[in-house]
Structure 1
């Protein structure tokens, strides 16, 4: 059993997504320590709690800005000493963690590049330089999609694309009869739903235009609002913001939607994304309409599993087409065939094999 130190830009309980899916599986064979981004505290200290088989570490720093990275380095060293960790792997989701972990000497260094973080709003200016250092330090690199892989494949000798996968059994529950959640049951149909982080990637103007054009359609939006002002979100009687929901609750909401939306704006922050929600929506048995995100067009759009709408007019036209359908049995069979071999379990197995094949002593892989 190996120790895995994971350094992430995401809080464990923020949204259940790629890190949680993968690391809970790695935790069945390893001891996983998940380091969240440092936060402000009254002094320099850390807290450790067990959840989902993971040791989640929250590091706190006093507001004194001096020697921040040196103090974090000392805090990381203390954690390793307190937990009696001497041999370990390092797994990075953010290159920013190198500022206080570059001194560590892991047996294997893994970089899971799930997004192009440098394109996100408020990205630190030093992120690109630190990512270049991480590429040099890493023994193996994964990318969160094929578009991101194409952009980074020449930067490392051992890089592999692993796009968003799926926990099928979890979302198949949305095909069964379940009660409509209390905060959704009084919303009229047809319902067009979206869940995910609502930030600079979310297409606010598209939602505004469609909701205005079709006042009899109702739009259910689930997820936390971050990095944008809530005042900028479109407001209308047919737009319903239900806030964040637990991962376990999502199928109950989706069961009572008519159409699912991948409603991302086309900008630099979405150029390389591979939305996890796409296969999740499909597994739930929902027709999906997406903006032209590259990793949705290929493979889902090309396989005629997802509508690709490049304007409000085309989005409305596809929705009208779906709302008149009486039967989706053939389409659903096609979806199930397409998703048959897709699972986070399979992704874990492939990643684990590649990691185990890394030969640290020679910096080569087999």
Structure 2
């Protein structure tokens, strides 16, 4: 496969997510150069290319253009102020480092200008999200994405909705869903490993739990229904509130909101869940949503009940139970409480094996190799 030059709108050292997981795994096949958006730096005389080692990935190198400006600000890829300079410095760096016709891997259509500037053997577009909302405020974005979709030798889509949408532009589009750090959440299967979080002390069991951002994706009437239908259950909803008001949240004696918790705290809460929930509404906010937390719950060997989100139905059933109505959702929780962990274990292990980041990177590698053979590169 050779070396990869990735053009990304995300920072490598910000939040560790899909690009970092996939590219770190793919770096065993060749060098990975991760090209970030420019960084502004007031008081600088000349622009230059900053080169840094990739955090937690030995064979990944980060490059970013450091651009002189009068004041700090955001500059994206493709900006007329910086693109010509960035292209020139990047081409010089690639020549000096011996990058000969690498695979060009894009995460943003704003990196389109690099395609003609960088000689490459193959073009990959990994689609993370729908750009419909961003296109309303970014002139030309939709046209750039369509051009990128049609040019790419391989298009990877993060969820089934994106796959169905993007394959209309390119027959070489494949679903590559999100993965899970199973080893991080696996200890939550053993309750004895964790001190009970203070907000959970004294709560009646069973504890029916959710963690994540509490926003307009959540089916708040469903949460209210569960609490009212089963007052002997404790419903714990962990996470920060966003895009909705505190007063919008359902209130009941058996609903508890511990608030925002750090990533390192989540396994302790998950360990104390008897059933874990994916209680999302079916609306515009969830149309392109793929709930990776389902895999996190499964990694802790917790029974999981979800609303009928498209990716849950396509990818995670029957391991993840689905309730299509509030009454059915409660019934599924009751069935999950009665089920023995041993009955679920084989299915959970098979599902997790499909969605480790290593296995997903291997799938991406196979797809890339197969398409390289077709094109003869």
Q: TM-score range by the shorter chain?
A: 0.7 to 0.9
The match for 1:52 is: 56
Partner residue of 1:333 out of 342, 346, 350:
346
Deviation at 1:296, TM superposition (A): 0.5
The match for 1:27 is: 27
Answer whether contact 2:179 2:295 (CA < 8 A) is retained. Answer: yes
Cα distance in 2 for partners of 1:102, 1:187 equals 63
Q: Which runs of 5+ in 1 are unaligned?
A: none
Q: Which runs of 5+ in 2 are unaligned?
A: none
Answer whether contact 1:73 1:101 (CA < 8 A) is retained. Answer: no
1:154 aligns with 2:158: no
Aligned residue-pair number: 356
Partner residue of 1:245 out of 263, 266, 277:
263
The match for 1:89 is: 103
Cα distance in 2 for partners of 1:196, 1:255 equals 15
Partner residue of 1:285 out of 301, 318, 330:
301
| CA shift digits 1:84-109 (9 cap, x unpaired) | 34433221122233256653332221
Partner residue of 1:217 out of 234, 249, 255:
234
Deviation at 1:349, TM superposition (A): 1.9
The match for 1:69 is: 80
Secondary structure, counterpart of 1:332 in structure 2: helix
Cα distance in 2 for partners of 1:119, 1:65 equals 19
Cα distance in 1 for partners of 2:154, 2:194 equals 45
Map residues 209-358 of structure 1 onto 2, 5 A cutoff: 209=224, 213=228, 217-222=234-239, 228=243, 234=249, 238-246=256-264, 250-301=266-317, 303=318, 305-323=319-337, 325=338, 327-358=340-371
Cα distance in 2 for partners of 1:120, 1:274 equals 19
Distance 1:328 1:350, change over 3 A: closer
Deviation at 1:19, TM superposition (A): 1.9
Larger Rg: 1 or 2? 2
Answer whether contact 1:165 1:276 (CA < 8 A) is retained. Answer: yes
Cα distance in 2 for partners of 1:337, 1:64 equals 46
Distance 1:123 1:3, change over 3 A: farther
Secondary structure, counterpart of 1:265 in structure 2: coil
Answer whether contact 1:73 1:100 (CA < 8 A) is retained. Answer: no
Deviation at 1:285, TM superposition (A): 0.7
CA RMSD of aligned residues (A): 3.8
Secondary structure, counterpart of 1:16 in structure 2: coil
Bigger helix share: 2
Distance 1:288 1:75, change over 3 A: same
Cα distance in 2 for partners of 1:15, 1:135 equals 26
Cα distance in 1 for partners of 2:333, 2:320 equals 11
Secondary structure, counterpart of 2:156 in structure 1: strand
| CA shift digits 1:114-149 (9 cap, x unpaired) | 332335798745332111111132121112234432
Secondary structure, counterpart of 1:275 in structure 2: coil
Deviation at 1:71, TM superposition (A): 0.8
Cα distance in 2 for partners of 1:28, 1:257 equals 38
Cα distance in 1 for partners of 2:241, 2:87 equals 31
Cα distance in 2 for partners of 1:79, 1:313 equals 58
